[in-house]
Amino acid sequence: MAKHTWDLTMNCKSAFIYAEDYKSYHFRTDHPFNQLRVQSTYDLLKSSGALSDTQVLSPRTATIEELKLVHDERFIEAVIASSNGQLKEQDAAEFGLGTEDTPIFSGMHEAASLLVGGTLQAVDYVLEGKGQHALNLGGGLHHGFKRKASGFCIYNDAAIAIAYIRKHYNVKVLYVDTDAHHGDGVQWSFYDDPNVCTLSIHETGRYLFPGTGNVNERGIKEGYGYSFNIPIDAFTEDESFLQIYEKAFREIMDYFQPDIIVTQNGADAHAYDPLSHLCGTMKIYEYIPMLAHELAHTYCDGKWIALGGGGYDIWRVVPRAWAQIWNVMNDQKPFSGSLPKEWIDKYQSKSLVPLPDTWHDQPNFYKPIPRKKEITEKNEQTLNKALQFIWNRYNKP
Ligand SMILES: [Zn+2]
Ligand SMILES: [Zn+2]
Rounded CA-CA distance 135/358 in Å is 23
Q: Note the ligand closest to the C-alpha atom of 150.
A: 2
Give which of 156, 143, 82 is closest to 116, Cα–Cα: 156
Rounded CA-CA distance 322/92 in Å is 33
Q: What is the CA(141)–ligand 2 centre distance, in A?
A: 9
Q: Which pLDDT belongs to residue 43? A: 98
**Torsional class of 129: left (φ above 0), alpha (ψ -120 to 50), beta (otherwise):** left
Q: Which pLDDT belongs to residue 6? A: 53
Q: Which pLDDT belongs to residue 397? A: 56
Q: What is the CA(27)–ligand 1 centre distance, in A?
A: 35
Q: Which pLDDT belongs to residue 2? A: 45
Give which of 67, 307, 263 is closest to 164, Cα–Cα: 67
Burial class of 381 by CB neighbour count within 10 A (0 to 12, 13 to 18, 19+): exposed
Q: What is the CA(327)–ligand 1 centre distance, in A?
A: 10
* Per-residue buried b or exposed e for 146-158, using 16+ beta carbons within 10 Å of the residue's own CB: eebbbbbbbbbbb
pLDDT in tens, the chain (397 residues): 444 555 555 678 999 999 999 999 999 999 999 999 999 999 999 999 999 999 999 999 999 999 999 999 999 999 999 999 999 988 999 999 999 999 999 999 999 999 999 999 999 999 999 999 999 999 999 999 999 999 999 999 999 999 999 999 999 999 999 999 999 999 999 999 999 999 999 999 999 999 999 999 999 999 999 999 999 999 999 999 999 999 999 999 999 999 999 999 999 999 999 999 999 999 999 999 999 999 999 999 999 999 999 999 999 999 999 999 999 999 999 999 999 999 999 999 999 999 999 999 999 999 999 999 999 999 999 999 999 989 988 766 5
Rounded CA-CA distance 36/126 in Å is 26
Let me know: does 162 contact 190? Beta carbons within 8 Å.
Answer: yes
Longest Cα–Cα distance in the chain? 58
Q: Note the ligand closest to the C-alpha atom of 11.
A: 1
Is the pTM here over 0.85, yes or no? yes
Q: Measured in whole angstroms, how far is the alpha carbon of residue 328 from the centre of its chain?
A: 16
Q: Which pLDDT belongs to residue 105? A: 97
DSSP 21: G
Q: Which pLDDT belongs to residue 11? A: 75
Rounded CA-CA distance 231/213 in Å is 6
Annotated catalytic residues are 143
Q: What is the CA(3)–ligand 1 centre distance, in A?
A: 16
Q: What is the CA(346)–ligand 1 centre distance, in A?
A: 31
DSSP per-residue letters across 204-261: -TTTSTT----TT----GGGTT-EEEEEEPTT-BHHHHHHHHHHHHHHHHHHH--SEE
Q: Note the ligand closest to the C-alpha atom of 264.
A: 2
DSSP 174: E
